[in-house]
Each structure stands twice: as structure tokens, then as C-alpha cells.
Amino acid sequence: MDRTALELLNPDQAAVAGAALGQLACELPDGGLLITASRLVEFGARATILFAPGLFRLDFTPQEETLGLYPKALGPAAEWHANEQTWDGYRDPTGPGPIELRGTFENGLEVWIHVLSFTERDALATHFVAKAEIRSSAPGSD
């Protein structure tokens, strides 16, 4: 793995960059970076939920029955994918399921994002609990 990719996987940088968001970060046991965060976001407000410096920022805009999801690459180009359950999660009458996204970056890093959301109607807000696992996709890169 090149030096630039190693710097992007630095947990100290991710924790400092996301400190204002209440974000935590650590190294994964098998290599890579884990970023976690929990935020309460008012309906109609756009807020950053996860921030990986030099890689991506993930913003959400909750409404009463819909959710705006905005992944933004901050460095190398990225391709994002979500499974169909994620697209239709807010339409499920039993309640929304987890939101899952996968991103592949042109520098050989991959991210798996998992977000749980809980609507707090009395507060007119949604509580998000999120994690991102970022790893190298290159064989033997650990």
C-alpha cells in the first residue's frame, strides 16, 4: 500500500477531523480504519454523519417520511453502490432497515458504510448511528 493510502487510513487524523461531529476512529485488527458516529439531525437539516478526510463525507437530510443521502468523494474518484433494501427502506411498513453503502475509490481503497436511523417524531428529528469500515482492496496490502 502506498504512503498516501496509509495516511488516509490514519485513525488519529479521522478522529481529529471528525471531532466536532462526535466521531471516533480506530485501526481495524486486520488492517484498515473504522469510523463511528452518532448524531441527532432535525427534519429538513442537512448534516454530515461520517467524515473520512481525503476520502469522503456522508451527509443526510431527514424528512418525516423520506431521507436524502449524499455521499461526496473528497479525493480520489469514487463509485457508490447501495442494495435495493437501502433504496426502499423507508417504505417498509415494519420500519426502516439499515442503510448500507459500498464505495470503491480509484486509489484501491474500499468502504462499507452501515447506518441505523431512528425517527424521534416528538423532537422532529432523526437519530443516526453510523460506521464506516475502510480497507485496501489490493491483495496482500495489509
Give tens-digit pLDDT for 113-127. Answer: 999 988 888 889 999
CB 36 within 8 A of CB 22: no
CB atoms within 10 A of CB 141: 15
pLDDT in tens, 53-90: 999 999 999 987 788 889 999 988 899 998 776 655 55
Spans of all domains in the chain: 3-136
CA distance readout (Å), 119 to 11, 86, 96: 30, 16, 10
